[in-house]
Amino acid sequence: MGCRPETLEEIAAELHNCQRCPLSKRRRNVVFGVGDPQAQLVFVGEGPGREEDEKGEPFVGEAGRLLDRILSAMGLNRDQVYICNVVKCRPPGNRDPLPEEIEHCEPYLKRQLATINPRVVVALGRFAVQTLLRDSAPISRLRGHWREYEGIALMPTFHPAFLLRKPAMKREVWEDMKQVLHRLRELRD
């Protein structure tokens, strides 16, 4: 009798009462992830903000609405992709997660990705990109160039929150998303 792969629901249930790091003491909700559990495309951000912590869902604030518009421009919606973060609890004041917080949380991300088994991951923003790639190069140098995470093609790009502050950078993100769409088409053919 073979081992049955774990489900996202089982991973989320295990994470529900997580107390592995200090972020658990201040959170309202664990922000696990949403979308298609068999998505070909996964978006990974850094961590939940205030609105995400309140609702228990990633990318629900203004940056999330911009991500929805990016998805729409790609001919997709949230139900066709999977969206999650490197850490699942909100860092105070939306600061970058600390190395020990990542150390406790990244195994859950790896398990999520192993369960979903996507063809492509899009890492959103400096922190998520540098964490997943273990590369401290500036996001401006990393974005737009294919890399790999856990054996999955990874496209680094700017975070939607950054695009809200610097709308002129939307063009670069759109170029990155065109590469993602091209890669997904190649992998289907």
| Position 176 in a domain | yes
Residue range of the domain that includes 51: 8-188
Does residue 167 surpass a pLDDT of 90? Answer: yes
> What pLDDT digit, counting tens, does each position of 121-154 carry?
999 999 999 999 999 999 999 999 999 999 999 9
> What pLDDT digit, counting tens, does each position of 17-62 carry?
888 888 988 899 999 999 999 999 999 999 999 999 999 999 999 9
Number of domains the chain contains: 1
Q: pTM of the prediction?
A: 0.95
| Position 1 in a domain | no
Strands 120-124 and 152-157: parallel
Sheet with 147-149, strands from edge to edge, namely 34-35, 82-85, 41-45, 120-124, 152-157, 147-149
| Position 2 in a domain | no
| Position 158 in a domain | yes
* The pLDDT of residue 1: 46
| Position 132 in a domain | yes
| Position 50 in a domain | yes
CATH of the domain at 58: 3.40.470.10
Q: What is the mean pLDDT of residues 170-178?
A: 98
Give CA–CA dist 21/55, Å, rounded.
Answer: 21
Instruction: Give the CA angle between residues 172, 173, 174 to the nearest 5°.
Output: 90
| Position 112 in a domain | yes
Instruction: Round the average pLDDT of the chain to a whole number and report it.
Output: 94
The length of the chain is: 189
| Position 61 in a domain | yes
Continuous H helices in the chain: 8-16, 23-26, 50-55, 62-73, 99-116, 126-133, 139-142, 160-165, 170-188
